[in-house]
Structure 1
Amino acid sequence: MKRILCIILALGILTGTMSFAVAEEDEDFQFSDEELREMQEEEDQAENYIEAEVQGEVYHEKTLEDFDMNSPALYKAKMRTDFNGTIYSEKWKSEEDITPKMRLADARGKKVDILYVGLIWFIVRRDNVIGYVRRQQIAKSDIESVDPENIPPFNVQKHAYIAKTATTCHVRKSMTPSKGDGDDGNNWVILKPGTELSIWQFYNGWAMVNYWREYGYIDPNELTDLIPVSPTDEELFPDSPIAAYTSYYKMTQNETNLNRIHNIKTGCQYISQVLQPGERLDANKTMGPYRPGKGYKQAGVLTAGTSKLGYGGGTCQVSSTLYNALIQLPDIEINHRRPHGGNGAAYLPIHCDAAVGNPELNLIFTNRYDFPIRILGTSNDDGALLMRVYRYHGEEITEAN
């Protein structure tokens, strides 16, 4: 939540009353323009996201060698005019690594074919050039599917299973078995027994998950209660969701982050709803107002060069994770969604977040199916936030944890 207002600068929207409170419960708080600019500093960290150095076998995304000038495009897009428009021959981690030979073409404001979508990089084609561009070099609104009937909408990643951790569960940085229950330095996060999560796919005998802008790997022996997510809107089994998505959050043990973890669970409880056909859900109205009277604690908001405490920090990750489940469903209409600025929130790939916090920063969607849906969000206070969507048949609902 401490990042949710940075988009206001990017969009030039500097009006509207904030719906989360700082200080007293009944006191409204509004950030000045200068405070908003200072909060932008944290957004810059998302822009400069650097892939981690990982030891061991990992899943490899496709490279330029997998494509040629005849390769079919997934999407048509236009490069941003207000951003670096270079197409590169290699991926790079820091601008200091860029050499002149790596600059294949300047495509600023030009149309390109997107051949592949990675977590940080696109592979694109322009004229007789195929190369890499970072995701923030293309605006989401400028991406169109070449074949909407057969190609999923941009950014949709259908997770194939949900599961529960059977024991202490290691989300590994590589497909290297863990050494005991502790941390050997090759874990993104260690989850408690009983934590629910979703799995993107199984690869080389490992359960693959998305961890921030990286991949994580789980030994299936540390999982139980594996349930397939329906590949369509028709459920496979009564307990099969029709969509699921998991994001991960930091587990630093300072008070501010512990409060953020508490707020994530609180937001999950409010957002877990049944939505009837034609019914609309407004995330701010459902989770907010973000005040102690709703059960929220103070988490950090960067203001005036320091971290200022504000109620509700963490609820943006709740709405963002839900957004990634919703876009898997063709008859869920997204009425309103805004990112955390051009670089998004670092816990998800760029273009995958959905900020909340004021009338402009909100997630609003409508159930266009002819059946009710049930939204269920859960978090076990250990780093994983799972959102599921089910077909609802009137069964009794127990409160989300």
Structure 2
Amino acid sequence: MKNFSARNRARAALLLALFLLLALPGALAAQEVLYNAKISTYFPNSITNAYQSPDLDSKVMTSFKPGQAIQIVEVLPNFVGILVGNKTGYVLRHRIMDPVALDPANTPRFGTAFNRYFTTASREIQVLAAPEAGSQVLITLQAGARLGFLDVENGWARTIFKRQYGYVDTRTLTELEMVAASEQDGTSEVPIAVYNSFYDISDNENNQNRISNLVVGGQRMSLTLEPGQSLDFNNQVGPFRASNGYKPAGALVDGELVFDVYGGGSCQVSSTLYNVILQLNGVTVLRRAPHGANGIKYLPHGVDASSGMLNLVFRNDYSFPISITAHVQDGSLFVAIYKDS
């Protein structure tokens, strides 16, 4: 009996040690490889660091040269987890290129963020930088604003705020609604996919013009697509001129910010829509272009979709119509797609 107890204690100690080891940042990688990729060649004269945790202040594990192959095991808003030997290291998302799924039939398109819940604020709510009271306030939304969430845990609803996670105390939400569990479960009232991005609400003229363009673009984009029908974003939402209600505002052109562009900000509408259709297997993207190697600041790198000089085009390959709606208020641009009867 003594030997049996000793063996059990030794086994328990070993299991505890393994558990603690795996809980440490940069510990032995247990995740499966999701994507093969390369270190970006857009920065040809610099190395790319892999960090021990998704934090630029954490320890540098190793460095990579441009074009070097990597294996991705985790995708976060601002980092990807990659294999570094038998451990996991973290590289900034804008420092990678050409991610390809190892098992495309069972792996989401790179950067897809599935929103499982959504809400319409009935009072003021705050999006915080951490799931704890008193943490940094990222944005304050007013009654009527809409917001999508990835998941809910321990009383906190998690969203993506630009290139980081944001958290909302569910006690401040009157109602938390669920996105349909599958496309077939969707209805004209229950969306099959949602996503929202955030925008600046400062009251200078250029920014107010940009917000006005978001509203106009969202309204012109709200429609129903029949099976087999495509949406050409520029044709539907444009032309971007004053006669269609657009105002001059800042826009990214060849990676540079240019002011006084009619329809400036419309790319945020197309990019937010792109993040909705990424979640849907029955929607085929026919044309999409990023803003440049660095992407745009209001979304994680690699999931933006430029419009205007470039374009977003996609097709409804479901056997049923889908309806697109957009809502712009208080810093949140919310897009939802519904299964139409």
Q: CA deviation at 1:236?
A: 4.9
Q: CA deviation at 1:362?
A: 0.6
- State how many pairs are aligned: 315
Q: Equivalent residue for 1:289?
A: 239
1:65 aligns with 2:26: yes
**Which structure carries more relative contact order (alpha carbon 8 Å, separation 6+)?**
1
State TM-score, norm by structure 1: 0.72
Contact 1:85 1:137 in 2 (8 A): no
1:163 aligns with 2:119: yes
CA RMSD of aligned residues (A): 2.5
Give the structure with the larger strand fraction.
2
State TM-score, norm by structure 2: 0.84
Structure 1 residues 391 and 67: alpha-carbon distance in aligned structure 2, compared to 1, 3 A threshold:
farther
Contact 2:34 2:71 in 1 (8 A): yes
Q: Equivalent residue for 2:13?
A: none
SS at match of 1:116: strand
CA distance in structure 2 between the aligned counterparts of 1:224 and 1:82, rounded to whole angstroms: 46
1:148 aligns with 2:108: no
Q: CA deviation at 1:314?
A: 1.3
Q: CA deviation at 1:132?
A: 2.3
Structure 1 residues 190 and 295: alpha-carbon distance in aligned structure 2, compared to 1, 3 A threshold:
same
SS at match of 2:210: helix
Q: Equivalent residue for 2:185?
A: 235
Contact 1:111 1:126 in 2 (8 A): no
Q: Which has the larger radius of gyration?
A: 2
Q: CA deviation at 1:103?
A: 5.7
Give matches, 1:247-326, under 5 Å. 247-301=197-251, 308-326=259-277
SS at match of 1:371: coil
Contact 2:117 2:178 in 1 (8 A): yes
Give matches, 1:120-269, under 5 Å. 120-125=78-83, 130-139=88-97, 142-177=98-133, 186-236=136-186, 238-269=188-219
Give matches, 1:32-51, under 5 Å. none
Structure 1 residues 308 and 231: alpha-carbon distance in aligned structure 2, compared to 1, 3 A threshold:
same
Q: Structure 2 regions of 5+ residues with no counterpart?
A: 1-22
Runs of 4+ in 1 over 4 A off after TM superposition: 91-94, 126-130
Contact 2:28 2:87 in 1 (8 A): no
SS at match of 2:158: strand
**What amino acid is aligned across from residue 88 of structure 1 in structure 2?**
A
Q: Equivalent residue for 1:86?
A: 48
SS at match of 1:262: helix
CA distance in structure 1 between the aligned counterparts of 2:48 and 2:24, rounded to whole angstroms: 17
Q: Equivalent residue for 2:9?
A: none
Contact 1:172 1:187 in 2 (8 A): yes
SS at match of 1:278: coil
Structure 2 residue corresponding to 1:337, chosen from 274, 280, 288: 288
Q: Equivalent residue for 2:10?
A: none
1:363 aligns with 2:323: no
CA distance in structure 1 between the aligned counterparts of 2:60 and 2:131, rounded to whole angstroms: 31
**What amino acid is aligned across from residue 389 of structure 1 in structure 2?**
I
CA distance in structure 2 between the aligned counterparts of 1:146 and 1:366, rounded to whole angstroms: 25
SS at match of 1:317: helix
**What amino acid is aligned across from residue 311 of structure 1 in structure 2?**
Y
Percent identical = 36
Contact 2:49 2:91 in 1 (8 A): yes
Q: CA deviation at 1:92?
A: 8.2
Q: Structure 1 regions of 5+ residues with no counterpart?
A: 1-61, 179-184, 394-401
